Amino acid sequence: MRLRCPQCGSKGFFSSWFKVAERCPQCGIASDRVAGHFVGAVGFNTIFSFGMLLIVLLLGTWAMYPDIRVIPLLAICFATAIVMPILFWPFSQTLWMAFDLAWRPADEAELDPRHTMGS
Ligand SMILES: [Zn+2]
């Protein structure tokens, strides 16, 4: 959640909000560990964004009940559907990679030899 490398915790894992570095500058782990690795992050982002959309829809309905104004509610939901995936994008990248590393820890071949020496 701090947008640091899920393997070593160092900064520099992102070159911009939308762009993950090819490799961590500290430990050298690739941000795209296997072909299609990013699909998991897209899945995390989709689940989070739809969850937030559901919360906004339920809170909006609850706040306006019984006189629900559909157009303003849809406008708020639409804005949530646009903004949430953008805001959550980098977090979905690091969270997915952290889950992936928990299930399938990095072997030494994936890491920079300078990082693993002495450990
Ligand atoms: Zn790292």
Q: Which residue in 20, 17, 83 sits closest to 49, CA to CA?
A: 83
| Contacts with 80 (C-beta within 8 Å, 6 or more apart), sequence order | 49, 52, 53, 56
Position 118 pLDDT exceeds 60: no
Q: How far is the CA of 32 from the centre of ligand 1 (A)?
A: 13
Looking at residue 116, its pLDDT comes to 58
Q: How far is the CA of 105 from the centre of ligand 1 (A)?
A: 13
Q: Which residue has the tokens 């296997």?
A: 34
Q: Model's pTM, two decimal places?
A: 0.84
| Contacts with 76 (C-beta within 8 Å, 6 or more apart), sequence order | 56, 60
Q: How far is the CA of 50 from the centre of ligand 1 (A)?
A: 30
Q: How far is the CA of 91 from the centre of ligand 1 (A)?
A: 15
Q: Which amino acid is it at 43?
A: G
Q: How far is the CA of 13 from the centre of ligand 1 (A)?
A: 7
Mean per-residue pLDDT for 29-58? 95
